A and B are shown apart, each in its own frame.
Chain A
Amino acid sequence: MSLSLDSKIPAGPLEKKWERHKFESKLINPANRRKFEVIVVGTGLAGASAAATLGELGYKVTAFCFQDSPRRAHSIAAQGGINAAKNYQNDGDSVHRLFYDTIKGGDFRAREANVHRLAEVSVSIIDHCVALGVPFAREYGGLLDNRSFGGAQVSRTFYARGQTGQQLLLGAYSALNRQIAAGSVTMHSRTEMMDVVLVDGHAKGIVTRNLTTGEIKTWAADCVIMATGGYGNVFYLSTNAKGSNVTATYRAHRRGAAFANPCYTQIHPTCIPVAGDHQSKLTLMSESLRNDGRVWVPKNKGDARPSHQIPDAERDYFLERKYPSFGNLAPRDISSRSAKEVCDEGRGVGPGGLGVYLDFADSIKRLGEDKIRERYGNLFEMYHQITGENAYQMPMRIFPAVHYTMGGLWVDYNLMSNIPGLFVLGEANFSDHGANRLGASALMQGLADGYFVIPYTIGNYLAPEVGKRPTTDHPAFKQTEAEVRAQIQRFLSIKGKRSVESFHRELGLLMWDHCGMARSEKSLTRALNRIPALRQEFWENANVPGENESLNVSLEKAGRVADFLEFGELMCFDALKRNESCGGHFREEYQTPDGEALRNDDSYAHVAAWEYKGEGNAPVRHIEPLIYENVKLATRSYK
């Protein structure tokens, strides 16, 4: 089967595409919907909203998550907010401006049609979340409040304290709960997807492992939706939850789903710096802090004085200096790289010189400590617990950390992968953020996909599939289940000496050093040499104790790390073959004289979608050209 990348973007003017597509999409009448069974894997913002909405429409939904409850998904940790083109602030926002900011923010590497749809539905998301009881911040008169975020010059971000992701996820969780109670959704927590089952080339089911009992089970459906999040944990240290993994999407990739732009990884500028070798994860400090905090380092290399002893004249507010019009609110990729630059120059602060200051002194002077506490109190508290430092009295120390992954499984305009019947939503797909995601846009995309896109587009696949659902007696199910069991046995029979965790740490460091904030042909080639050796050692010497038939954390971890050990290689291939710098992908060979990313639109204005060719074989790169009919490709400037 040759890999086909038909984006199915509707014809017509940009503003009319989605409306037209909704009209032209196939409808399924209410009586027929209950004949269709839909599997949803992952119940974060995208998965929970999709499961709830499809259940509401009358489809028979079975949903799965590996956490102990759908309310735990890592969407919950998003702090700052959600964008929407409401223009409630009368500051010049519009659907077109949100569309343009997102395309530009993504460094002109996203599909116009998808991004415009995202901007269009953004306004409905806010309305729906309000109706669900999400307690967004309000003004005294009762109207919704907004704040500013990086990469935009308008205030379009809606928020609920520093816990917007939590409140939006709990909203989607409540909608999901309503459907569970109504019997339209069946929920299986602590259940991990092990593989997707293809029948005649269509995704018609999955194989799962019950994480409490070890039971392996097959599930048949008319289609499969994966909303399983991003792959940031390939770096080991990231702001992702410990359980976040690439397994679902990577195993679908092994079955034929194209993986698009895996090298686009977002490094978030404002995280708490690493404290030591024991560190298990990195903690984000919301981008919203950059509304009131000023980023600086000492002007002089090796200046070891405490921050308060460094006079203003000897400080370099490098974002304000380099990007006067956006200042401290420059987009994430640019802010992160600038922080790396000053640290590379030896001007970093804190242990190891891997940190920059985020200073609130001016804002506290201007607004008072109470106002700052009201806006960011929980973040200051968290910072205090982790570092033992009081950021009201001294500047925070921050450093960039892996946060989000723009790449993901390739999907068409219907959010269907190149495997018919396999839909991919939220961070798990690649479609809307190009090479860099703007702040407060991940929540927007997850909910857009789940509440407002998939309910319309799923019919295009399902309508002609009525009555074609196989049962789990089909040989494809037996075969896939046997392969899953064999892999589990393989882990348990290695009986090596080295912990799975230590392999993950080593891979993560390798990826960070060679395929992190900056990459080069040299570093990537080195990584591509070392990863297969590490993988081989894993299969010879990993220590996976216990048995399958119990709650076995080592076994869970082994499956996820084994996939990261293959996936890391794919990322490096993608980074190596993209001979340009764009957004979160910065190749040292391709930069302007003043150190900015140098795109190559003639050769690389396309999506790279990779086809799996078997373990140990080089994957094959396919291309979907990106056609810009409405925006002019421009050098992205925030100066």
Chain B
Amino acid sequence: MNLKLKVWRQKNSTAQGRLVDYEARNIPEDCSFLEMLDLVNEDLLARGEEPIAFDHDCREGICGMCSLTINGVPHGPSETTTCQLYMRKFKDGQTIYIEPFRAHAFPLLRDLTVNRSAFDRIQQAGGFISAHVGAAPDGNAILVPKTEADHAMEAAACIGCGACAAACPNASAMLFVGAKVTHLGSLPQGQPERERRVLSMVQQMDKEGFGNCSNYLECEAVCPAEIPATVIGQLNRDYASALIKDSV
């Protein structure tokens, strides 16, 4: 198949960026979207141009590094991540817009690559259980009913790609933060630090410049890990309850 691409090119964080037209020719439909870009890059190199920079690593949908906005949607028409999108989802001759994940808190580095270290800093603020090595009781000493373990796992599946913030008109990271708060808050091990955790993480989230949730639910629609928007409800409940406890 042949495709017309409009790709965001930007030399570095301060340079002016723009959409540049490229053609992708003779692309097999078994090809993944990133492999299509690999082929375009080989063409660019052959013409003496610099390749398009984009983030990717595992190419099996789990590392969360790939981060393209395709035709206006983070991860495009993929059911999961950009790397798991195959060209059979597109039509011959189609025009495809390829842009980075855009959010104020994700500054652009080059072309389609953005800096998502704000997510790391939110996790550093409290996304953990303080258990030091050597002190743990036997794994079976802490009983976790299957339903609770499954509930925690559902939220823990977040891959930290940032599609939620990129899709949200407010660039809110509440699905991401809610996922961690729900994961650890659903487990008995996570209870001692539950209030502290949610207060610190939300404070850091605000400091990074992510917006608030106003229930567009675009985040849930694009989330490759199918994190349910109910984690945002959990986040709000935990936050409110922690605020009250904190103030008395």
Please give me the residue from chain A that is nearest to B65 by CB atom.
A72
Report Cα–Cα, A552/B52, bound state, in Å. 10
Asked if B38 and A382 make an inter-chain contact with CB atoms under 8 angstroms apart, the answer reads no
A92 at the interface (CB under 8 A from B): no
Contact partners of B50 in chain A: CB under 8 A: 545-546, 552, 554
Asked if A72 and B64 make an inter-chain contact with CB atoms under 8 angstroms apart, the answer reads yes
A138 at the interface (CB under 8 A from B): yes
Asked if B120 and A69 make an inter-chain contact with CB atoms under 8 angstroms apart, the answer reads yes
Interface stretch (choices B142-150, B208-216, B232-240): B142-150
Contact partners of A545 in chain B: CB under 8 A: 45, 48-51
Interface stretch (choices A25-33, A174-182, A568-576): A174-182
Asked if B113 and A74 make an inter-chain contact with CB atoms under 8 angstroms apart, the answer reads no
Please give me the residue from chain A that is nearest to B67 by CB atom.
A68
Contact partners of B117 in chain A: CB under 8 A: 68-69, 189
A385 at the interface (CB under 8 A from B): yes
Contact partners of B88 in chain A: CB under 8 A: 388
Give per-residue flags for B13-39: 1 if the beta carbon is below 8 A from chain A beta carbons, else 0.
000000000000001101110110011
Give per-residue flags for A466-502: 1 if the beta carbon is below 8 A from chain B beta carbons, else 0.
0000000000000000000000000000000101011
Report Cα–Cα, A543/B47, bound state, in Å. 11
Please give me the residue from chain A that is nearest to B88 by CB atom.
A388
Interface centre among B49, B80, B144, B187, by most A CB within 10 Å? B144
Please give me the residue from chain B that is nearest to A272 by CB atom.
B60
Asked if B86 and A386 make an inter-chain contact with CB atoms under 8 angstroms apart, the answer reads yes
Report Cα–Cα, A243/B57, bound state, in Å. 6
A170-B156 contact given A72-B63, A76-B63, A178-B130, CB 8 Å threshold:
yes
Task: Tell me the B103-137 residues at the A interface (CB within 8 Å).
Answer: 109-110, 113, 115-117, 119-120, 123-125, 127-137
Report Cα–Cα, A381/B147, bound state, in Å. 23
Contact partners of B32 in chain A: CB under 8 A: 280, 386
Asked if B64 and A385 make an inter-chain contact with CB atoms under 8 angstroms apart, the answer reads no
Which one, B38, B46, B149, contacts A135 given CB within 8 A?
Answer: B149
B206 at the interface (CB under 8 A from A): no
Which one, B46, B57, B61, B149, contacts A382 given CB within 8 A?
Answer: B61
A161 at the interface (CB under 8 A from B): yes
Report Cα–Cα, A24/B31, bound state, in Å. 57
Give per-residue flags for A263-290: 1 if the beta carbon is below 8 A from chain B beta carbons, else 0.
0000000000001101111011000000
**Minimal beta-carbon separation of B140 from chain A (angstroms):** 5
Asked if A177 and B136 make an inter-chain contact with CB atoms under 8 angstroms apart, the answer reads no
Contact partners of B78 in chain A: CB under 8 A: 385
Contact partners of B153 in chain A: CB under 8 A: 135, 137, 160-161, 167
A135-B156 contact given A175-B128, A385-B86, CB 8 Å threshold:
yes
Contact partners of B30 in chain A: CB under 8 A: 275-276, 278
A163-B157 contact given A76-B63, A543-B45, CB 8 Å threshold:
yes
Which one, B109, B129, B142, B144, contacts A212 given CB within 8 A?
Answer: B109
Asked if A280 and B38 make an inter-chain contact with CB atoms under 8 angstroms apart, the answer reads yes
Which one, B56, B110, B139, B143, contacts A551 given CB within 8 A?
Answer: B110
Asked if A69 and B116 make an inter-chain contact with CB atoms under 8 angstroms apart, the answer reads yes
Report Cα–Cα, A163/B117, bound state, in Å. 23
Contact partners of B64 in chain A: CB under 8 A: 71-72
B72 at the interface (CB under 8 A from A): no
B84 at the interface (CB under 8 A from A): yes
Report Cα–Cα, A494/B190, bound state, in Å. 55
Asked if B129 and A131 make an inter-chain contact with CB atoms under 8 angstroms apart, the answer reads yes
Asked if A553 and B51 make an inter-chain contact with CB atoms under 8 angstroms apart, the answer reads yes
Which one, B58, B138, B152, B183, contacts A77 given CB within 8 A?
Answer: B58
Report Cα–Cα, A177/B184, bound state, in Å. 15
Asked if B146 and A139 make an inter-chain contact with CB atoms under 8 angstroms apart, the answer reads yes
Report Cα–Cα, A283/B41, bound state, in Å. 22
Asked if B35 and A280 make an inter-chain contact with CB atoms under 8 angstroms apart, the answer reads yes
Report Cα–Cα, A177/B121, bound state, in Å. 8
Please give me the residue from chain A that is nearest to B111 by CB atom.
A551
Report Cα–Cα, A497/B116, bound state, in Å. 34
Contact partners of B80 in chain A: CB under 8 A: 381-382, 385
Report Cα–Cα, A638/B139, bound state, in Å. 32
A307 at the interface (CB under 8 A from B): no
Asked if A180 and B62 make an inter-chain contact with CB atoms under 8 angstroms apart, the answer reads no
Asked if B145 and A142 make an inter-chain contact with CB atoms under 8 angstroms apart, the answer reads yes
Contact partners of B218 in chain A: CB under 8 A: none
Asked if A128 and B38 make an inter-chain contact with CB atoms under 8 angstroms apart, the answer reads no
Give per-residue flags for B162-195: 1 if the beta carbon is below 8 A from chain A beta carbons, else 0.
0000000000000000000001100101100000
Asked if B146 and A142 make an inter-chain contact with CB atoms under 8 angstroms apart, the answer reads yes
Contact partners of A178 in chain B: CB under 8 A: 124, 128, 130
Report Cα–Cα, A56/B134, bound state, in Å. 11
Give per-residue flags for A173-209: 1 if the beta carbon is below 8 A from chain B beta carbons, else 0.
1110110110000010100000000000000000000
* 14 more A-B residue pairs beyond the given contacts A141-B143, A177-B123, A177-B127, with a C-beta to C-beta distance below 8 A: A52-B133, A77-B60, A77-B63, A137-B149, A138-B144, A144-B139, A180-B124, A181-B125, A189-B117, A281-B59, A455-B133, A499-B42, A545-B45, A545-B50
Q: Which 9 A-B pairs have the closest CB atoms?
A: A142-B143, A131-B136, A174-B128, A131-B131, A138-B149, A127-B136, A135-B152, A135-B153, A551-B110
- Between A and B, 25 residue pairs with Cβ closer than 8 Å are A52-B133, A53-B133, A68-B65, A68-B115, A77-B58, A127-B139, A131-B136, A136-B139, A137-B149, A141-B143, A141-B145, A143-B143, A144-B139, A174-B127, A177-B120, A181-B125, A241-B57, A278-B28, A280-B35, A382-B84, A385-B86, A386-B84, A452-B133, A501-B41, A552-B50
